[in-house]
Structure 1
């Protein structure tokens, strides 16, 4: 069920392949891939904002050469995840999850209603277990 990616997503993937350093904040957990994508859509590929990522990376490269290799491996992993991601499948699974959550919420509310005594009948100690009355 592989579908063709949107042209913007394809261009973003090529952009990230050319400039893997832009994923630095994604790898560190400061930003999400969605945040980077939105910046890319807003500023475009040629904006100076991407140079700030490069300058920051060059400063870090002086102190962490081995971390760069690990980061590149992580970037490849992120790109592979993007490549294999089917947004329609994700949306479908989220819809199913939402349905399950709604069902659990309904079940919990039913249990709560069963546990709440009816105030018109009084406390449970005064209630007769028999449904008939004296004549």
Structure 2
């Protein structure tokens, strides 16, 4: 049986995972996927300080505070993946209609209060209106 030759970046990532065995624990605990880790590794590079906690002998708790934002973003993106697009569109449409109704009410009240407050003010006359004899 012959083994398929992998893309060089995938081979590099596999070597990176061998050097950072705590990544395997992270995936097995379902806190991340191999795809997510690969994409982060590809974008950040292997020298990024984020990866220090996944090396041998290092615990994840030691540098947990550095990744709070990334954890939040991961959770948020997971939540977005679970959302139903049609339901979101329905709620956005309802919100848009409610905002439109409020704007309509405000414009009615502003219009009536301007008319009541300043009845002496007339519409500006056309400065170029000329009469023929």
TM-score when normalising by structure 2: 0.39
Scaled by the length of structure 1, what TM-score is found?
0.38
Determine which structure has more spread, i.e. the larger CA radius of gyration: 2
